[in-house]
Amino acid sequence: MLCCLSLTAAAQSRFGEKPRLVVGIVVDQMRWDYLSRYYDKFTNDGFRRLIDNGFSCNNCLINYVPTITAIGHASAYTGTTPAFHGICGNNFYISGKKVYCCEDNSVQTVGSDSDKGKRSPRNMLATTIGDQLRLHTDFKSKVIGVSYKDRAAILPAGHSANAAYWLDLKNRCFITSTYYMDKLPKWAQDNNKKLAKDKEFKKLGEDIGLSPYCGTIITDMAIHALHGEGLGKGDQTDMLCVSYSQTDVIGHKYGTRGRNTDDAYLQLDRDLGRLLKAIDDQVGRDNYLVFLTADHGAATNWQYMRDHKIAAGPWNSGEMKKRVYEAISNDSGEDSGYIGDIMDYRIFLDWDTIQLRGLITADMPHLILSELEKEPDIQFAAVYTDLATSSLPPLLRDRAMMGYYPGRSGDIIFFPKPGYYESGSWSSPTGTTHGEWNPYDAHIPCLFYGWKVPQGATSRQVSITDIAPTVCQMLHIQQPDACTGEAITEITK
């Protein structure tokens, strides 16, 4: 009997334990295989510290399409997909109007005189880890987001965050919005003054994201936030959300291989080491929990693939649009106007134009679908409202459904052949892009390190949406309110 009571007391003690700080890190456009590619070149203080002393989920996949930056950040922190959190891309449609994911004209910029601060998380329909942490502690916990991109700072931090900070490239400083505050805190002002004198920063011009030094600037801001807000030093668990975007900008320009990408990840490794050291010094090495993941991966440059006799190629939405118009004009009597947008391998119909011209609205999606299926570089396509009964392979059907939010996601989704991707606005001839279901876009790193994290790895398939419930279970707080993921039991047991 005494033994049972002792075990119960011990269990209750463990149940009440908590880390002083949670640190979420997203590396934009990082493929899972980069961990092994650069392992021997990494220092002992950054990625290798997380890999060697933490837990690695080696088969973490994104379980929706499209695989896009805003969606990935939202999904990792809400534990769910666009079907529930509503962030369907960097841009999508609301009530027929194209909007940027974090667009909010009801707020103003704080920290500069530009309009780059008119941003908030209001378009996201679900709570995040940080929101649940704040709710659990009656808003005594602090939650801060930091990134080069506004969406990468705002969406992870959530609705009730104390602040999110991102770079204003024109004014070359960190800003926020009146959604969070009316004036930058002194520590953030001091950091901006330091940036203004930074000779390396000045040399970069507005191409900051194309330099590995961008990651250094983000790390400096994160460390300033750590110290300035006293994160991890209060009575409640705090959270710091950091996202590194230079890896995405460099990848789009230079691709997944080569010196530029190598330099970006090796510098990021050193910056991670600095960040972890700063957290060690502030809260103690065993008193914080870290997770690191990516919002998406990236395809290998199609020309590089072809040069090595591997099937791949560019795909151009504008050219496809012309061919579809030419084919449909024979049936509809019109040659333009009914495709409003093609974005992230989705077609958004212009329903106002279709109805104005008296076209048969119910048939239009299927007319376009029939032409898409003739495109040589498109492997599958479906009308969103037909997904449940479509002939898509189950894996593609399920990921399309999880990525679909009615009224925001468009009307038709299509899947290029493996190795084929959109060329043009988001990729240079030497670069790459992302957005598809394939492993090169969907297989991402998922590392846990620190407080109560066992050392080891698993090859069991997990999803990006499993990160949030895992962290919440470790903190003994409620999952985000639309969470569909499952806690990774190898870590939480």
CB atoms within 10 A of CB 186: 9
Tokens 């900070």, residue located:
165
Active site residue 69: yes
Angle between helices 246-254 and 259-283 (to 10 degrees): 170
Indicate the SS3 state at residue 358: coil
> What tokens does 201 get?
């920063």
Q: Which of 458, 482, 424, 394 is nearest to 54 (CA)?
A: 458
> What tokens does 95 get?
């009530």
Amino acid at 203: K
Q: Which of 217, 89, 91 is nearest to 148 (CA)?
A: 217
Residue pair 21/238 in contact (Cβ under 8 Å)? The answer is yes
Instruction: Give the whole-angstrom CA distance, residue 127 versus residue 74.
Output: 9
The CB-side HSE value for 220 (13 A sphere, CA atoms) comes to 18
Tokens 């006293």, residue located:
230
Count Cβ atoms within 10 A of the Cβ of residue 68 and give its class: 0-12 exposed, 13-18 middle, 19 or more buried: buried
Give how far Cα 50 sits from Cα of 42, 144, 297, 451, 472, Å: 11, 22, 20, 12, 20
Give how far Cα 486 sits from Cα of 56, 272, 439, 450, Å: 16, 28, 21, 20
Host H or E run for residue 84: helix 82-85
Distance of CA 180 to the CA centre of its chain: 21
Tokens 């841009």, residue located:
91
First to last CA, the chain: 25
Tokens 């449940």, residue located:
388
Residue 378, phi then psi, degrees to nearest 5: -105, 125
Tokens 């459904």, residue located:
401
Give how far Cα 368 sits from Cα of 303, 321, 323, 372, 475, Å: 29, 10, 10, 6, 49
> What tokens does 339 get?
């495709």
Question: Of 69, 128, 137, 465, which one is the catalytic site residue?
Answer: 69
Instruction: Give the whole-angstrom CA distance, residue 119 versus residue 154.
Output: 8
Question: Sign of dihedral through CA atoms 274, 280, 282, 287?
Answer: positive
CB atoms within 10 A of CB 221: 27
Instruction: Give the whole-angstrom CA distance, residue 247 versus residue 296.
Output: 11
- Catalytic positions: 69
